[in-house]
Amino acid sequence: MAERFAALTPLLEPRSVAVIGASDRAGNLGGLAVQFLQKFGYQGEVWPVNAGRTSVAGLPCFADVASLPSVPDMAILAVPAESVEDVVATCIAVGVRSAVVWAGGFAEGSDAGRARQDRLEALCRGSSLKLCGPNCIGIINTAIGLTASFSSLMTEIDRFTPGRVSMVSQSGGIAVNAHARAQALGLGFRVTVSCGNEAVLGIPDFMQALLEDDGTRVIAIYAEAMPDPDRFVAALADARQRRKPVVILKGGANEQSARAALAHTGRLAGSDRTYDAIFREFAAIRVYSPEEMLEVALHLASLPEGCLPDGNRVLISTFGGGSGVIATDQCARDGMTVPPLDAATRERLAPILTPLASSMNPVDLTPGSMTNPKNRETLPQVLNILTESPGTDQYLCFASGFGALAPAFADMFDAVRRRATRPVGLSWLAPPDGIVPRLAANGVMVFQEHARLIRAAGHLVRYAADLRHRIRRVSLPGASFPWDAHMSPSARGVITEDVVAGILTAAGLPAAPGRMACNVDEAVEAARQVGFKVAMKGISSTITHRAAAGLVALDLANEDAVAQAYTALQVRAEEVGAVLDGVWVQHMFQGQVELLVTAFRDREFGVVVGCGMGGGATEIIDDVVFSRAPIDSVGAGDLLLRLRTLRRLPALLAEEQRDRAAEFIAGFSALTASAPWSRFTMEVNPLKVGDNGVAAVDGLMIIDQAED
C-alpha cells in the first residue's frame, strides 16, 4: 500500500481495524464502531475483539489481539481509562501499528488522570505505535469509509461526501460540527481528526501527514494549547513551502502574557499577537469562528489549485444596486478596493446589458438580466466578459432568489467559473431548494451571505500577500552580542536608559548621544558635549514612564536652562518619592516620524521583535506588528509596511527613511535574539526617523524577577 499519509498511514488509512471492547450490548461504543465501519463501507478488514463474545454485528469476534488472523494496522480501544494501559501494552507487544483511544479520565481531569497519561506516554515512547488520543472522538477518512469514531454524525447521515478539506482539532465537538456542516453543504471533508489530549501525536504530526496527502487541498486546524511549538512551526513552514493552505482557528486568544507589563510592549504584545506573527510568517490563514474557518477552507478548496489573487482589487456583480454599495464599503473595511471597470470592458458590455444596468464596478446587472428571456440569453456572455476584464484580481458574484430560473443561473455561473483564471466566488441570498447541492456537486462553495464571501475574499488577498512577503526569521552572520561586557547575567528588574543606550551604541545601532550627570556642573558639561538642544531625564529604576511622572525636560537651548532643569528634576523626584541615579542629558535628535521598536522573549516561540507607531501615539492607536527574531532589513521593511498607519499614509515615511528604519529594526532584532535571559523586554520608544538618519531617543529594558 502506498504510504499516502507518510508515517501516519496506518492511522489515517489502515488496511485492517481491530475494535477492542466491542459487543452487541446497547450503548456499547465498540459495537457502534463496528456498525459504522460496515455502514460506510470501510474497505479493509474489521475484527471485533472481546473475550466474552463470539460475534459482534454479524462478524466473528476474537478473544484477544493475539488471536486475530493477522496483526491489524489499527486498534480502536473502546475500553475504560483504567484498562487502556494494559491494552496498549498488548498492542505494542504484538506489533499493532496504530491505535485510537477514546476514553477520558486522563490529563484533562485529576492528578490521577495526569499520572495515567504520563504512564501511557512512557509506554508508547520508543515504540512504533502511532496513538491518537486519549479523550478524543477519533478519526474519519471519508475516502475509504474509515470511521474510527463514535461521533453522532454517523447516525445522522447515510453516506459520506468525500471532500478536499481535512481537519485536525483539539476539540471533538468543533471537528464534528464542522464536518457535519461541510456534509450539509454538499462538499464534505476528506479526513477529520479529533486529537484530544495528544499524549503521543499532536497537531504537528497530523499536519505533516496531511501535507503528504495529495487528496487534501486545504488543512483546517482548531487549536487551544500548543505543547510543541517548534514542531508546529516546522509544519507551518512545510505548508508554506508546498503552498498548501492552512486555515487556523486559535482558541484562548485572550490569554495574558506572563511577562512584566511595565513597558509599552507589555500592554501591546501578548501570546495572541505572537501567534499572529507566526501565522503571518508562514502564510497561515487565521480565522475567528468555526463558521469562518469552514467557509474559508471550503472556498479555498473549491478554487483551481494555485489560483490566488495578485492584489486586492475586486470586481463585484449584483442584481440590484444597493447590495453593491454596501459591498463596496465592506470590501474597504477588509482591505480591498473596488476600482472602476476599464473603458474597453465597458464598451464590450454596453450593447448586451439591460437598459437599466450599470457597467461601473460594482456592476449592477439588474433582475431583468434573468427575468427577460432575451437578456437571459446574453447573460453568459456578460459573465464571461466580467471574468476576463483586466484591472481586478478576483470576481465576486452576488445572486438572490431567481425561483424557477435558479438552476439556469447556477449552470451559467459554473460554466464561467470553470473558465476563470482568477478566484471567482458566489454568494446567493435565499437560494431555492436544490441549488446549493447542485453547485456543490461541481465543487462550488455557495456563500449565503454577501459579507461572508467578502470576508473570505479578504483572506485570499492576505494569504497571497503572505506567501510573497519576506518577514521570516533568518540566520544573521557574525558573533552574538557580548552582553556580559555590559551587564551582569544575573541582572534583574528595570535596566535604565543610560545602560540601554550604551548597549545600542556598542551594537552599532544609532542612538541620540547622551551623558549621565549627578550634579548641576556635570549636567552643563554633558550638554556641551552632546550638543544643544538637549533633553534631560531623571533616571530611576523605580520609574519606567518618566514623562508621566514629570521627570523629563525638553528643548533646553542653553546652559542656564540646563542648570534650572536639573534642579527642577531633583525637586520633582522628591515629590513623587523617587530616588534618582542621576540625570540623563541627551542631544535632541530631529525626526519627523516616531516609531516603537521592541523585543521580548515569548515563552513558546523565543525572541519576538516588533515595530509600531511610537511616541505619544503608541498606546492610543495601538498600531504594532511582530515577527520572530532575528529578521533581515528586507523583512523589516515588509514588517513596517504592515502597519495600518503606513498602509494608509505611505508618504509618511519616504523610501530612504523606511530603509534606514528597517536597518535599525534588523540590527535590533539580531541584538535581542542573543539576549541570555529567559524572560525580558527591550524597547526603544521613540526611534526618531529624520531626513538625515534615525536615532533611538529613549530606551528601556526589563528583566523579569521570576525565572521560567
Report yes or no on 227 lying in a domain.
yes
Q: Give tens-digit pLDDT for 252-303.
A: 765 443 333 334 444 444 578 889 999 999 999 999 999 999 999 999 999 9
Q: What is the mean pLDDT of the chain?
A: 92
At residue 253, the pLDDT reads: 61
Ranking 174-188, 252-266, 376-390 by mean pLDDT, the lowest is 252-266
Report yes or no on 628 lying in a domain.
yes
At residue 267, the pLDDT reads: 44
Q: Tell me the helix, strand and coil percentages in the chain, rounded to 5.
A: 40, 20, 40
Of the candidates 700, 627, 608, the one whose C-alpha atom is nearest the C-alpha of residue 261 is: 700
Per the CB < 8 A criterion, the answer to whether 573 and 565 are in contact is no
Residue at a domain's end among 251, 280, 302:
302
Same-domain pairing of 563 and 640: no
Report yes or no on 497 lying in a domain.
no
Q: Give tens-digit pLDDT for 152-179.
A: 999 999 999 999 999 999 999 999 999 9
pLDDT at 487 over 90: no
Residue at a domain's end among 451, 468, 485:
468
pLDDT at 91 over 50: yes
Q: What integer is the mean pLDDT of 529-554? A: 89
**DSSP-derived secondary structure for 605-627:** TEEEEEEEE-GGGHHHH--EEEE
Q: 140: part of which helix (H) or strand (E)?
A: strand 138-141
Calculated CA dihedral for residues 282, 286, 291, 295, nearest 10 degrees: -40
Give the residue, 351 or 705, on which the prediction is more confident: 351
Same-domain pairing of 635 and 570: no
Report yes or no on 480 lying in a domain.
no
Same-domain pairing of 245 and 365: no
Residue at a domain's end among 535, 567, 587:
587
Q: Among all chains, which residue has been given the C-alpha cell 482568477?
A: 422
CATH of the domain at 376: 3.40.50.261
d(CA 462, CA 469): 10
Q: What integer is the mean pLDDT of 652-681? A: 95
Please enumerate in sequence order all residues whose Cβ is within 8 A of that of 245, keeping only pairs 6 or more positions apart, or say none: 217, 218, 219, 239, 285, 297, 300, 463
pTM: 0.91
d(CA 646, CA 38): 59
Measured in Å, how far apart are the chain's first and last C-alpha atoms?
A: 47
Range of the domain at 410: 314-468
| Type of residue at 490 | S
Report yes or no on 309 lying in a domain.
no
**DSSP-derived secondary structure for 525-567:** HHHHHH-SSEEEEEE-TT-S-HHHHT-EEEEE-SHHHHHHHHH
- Which three cell numbers mark 346? 465597458
Of the candidates 581, 596, 590, 589, the one whose C-alpha atom is nearest the C-alpha of residue 551 is: 581
Same-domain pairing of 599 and 554: no
Q: Counting beta carbons within 10 angstroms of the beta carbon of residue 20, is it exposed (0 to 12), middle (13 to 18) or buried (19 or more)?
A: buried
Report yes or no on 24 lying in a domain.
yes
Same-domain pairing of 113 and 154: yes
CATH of the domain at 627: 3.30.470.20
CATH of the domain at 558: 3.30.1490.20
Same-domain pairing of 159 and 78: yes
Same-domain pairing of 207 and 327: no
d(CA 684, CA 319): 53
Same-domain pairing of 222 and 195: yes
Q: Give tens-digit pLDDT for 113-151.
A: 999 999 999 999 989 999 999 999 999 999 999 999 999
Report yes or no on 498 lying in a domain.
no
Report yes or no on 633 lying in a domain.
yes
Strands 680-690, 593-602: parallel, antiparallel or unpaired by DSSP? antiparallel
Of the candidates 388, 386, 429, 379, the one whose C-alpha atom is nearest the C-alpha of residue 408 is: 379
Q: Give tens-digit pLDDT for 606-631.
A: 999 999 998 876 666 788 999 999 99
Give the residue, 4 or 504, on which the prediction is more confident: 504
Phi then psi for residue 651, to 5 deg, are -75, -10
Total domains, the chain: 4
At residue 617, the pLDDT reads: 67
Same-domain pairing of 320 and 268: no
Same-domain pairing of 411 and 358: yes
pLDDT at 681 over 90: yes
At residue 270, the pLDDT reads: 53
Same-domain pairing of 297 and 418: no
Per the CB < 8 A criterion, the answer to whether 271 and 279 are in contact is no
Same-domain pairing of 410 and 440: yes
